[in-house]
Structures are given as C-alpha cells and as structure tokens.
Amino acid sequence: MKKTLLIAITISLFINLSLSAKEVPSSGEMISELLVRPLGLMGLAVGSGIFVITLPFGVLNRVSTGSWESVLSSGKRLVIAPALFTFARGVGDYPDHMEEIELIKE
C-alpha cells in the first residue's frame, strides 16, 4: 500500500514538473512584472474611483433608457478589466490595449 502511494506521488510530481517547465517565464518578463503589476493595481484603484463617481449618472441613464448597459459596460472597462489584468493574467502575457477579455461574460 505504501509503495503504491509512493509511486502515485512520484508520478504526479513528474507530471506537474513537466507541465510547469513549459511555462517558465524569462527573467525579463519577471522583471517587467515588478513594474506592470503595481501599475495595474493603480489602474484598478483609479478606475474603481471613477466608476463610483460616475455610477449615479449611469443609474439616471438607466431610468431614462430602461437598460443597465451603460453601468455594466463602464464597470467591465473600469473595474473588471484592470482587476483581471492585475490578478488573473499570466507572467509576460500582455493583451492588446482594447482587446476583449474572454473572462468577462455578458
């Protein structure tokens, strides 16, 4: 029983090592993350502040048009996109400026 468990753990370690070895970022990508991640965090803070300030106008727009589309689109662009850029993006993975983020669902 112990031998089988030891073999299973060894195989799982080799599988994990082989998967992570393909995705090792270069040193330049890791150094660039020291600048880019804090900038993304600042963008998230600024975007969240702008979203909170403009939220009453979006609610007024919802009253006149009957649609939450303006609030949802500004929330996606000002809060969710910087949050995903800062916390969910891989090292060295820089999307284009206005590229749609696939994790945002309608």
pLDDT tens digits along 53-84: 999 998 888 877 888 888 888 898 899 988 88
Burial of 5 (0-12, 13-18, 19+ CB in 10 A): exposed
Length in residues, the chain: 106
Mean of pLDDT values over 92-101: 64
**Res. 19: pLDDT tops 50:** no
pLDDT given at position 62: 82
Domain ranges of the chain: 34-106
Residue 79: other Cβ atoms inside 10 A: 17
**Res. 23: pLDDT tops 80:** no
Structure tokens at 72: 């949802």
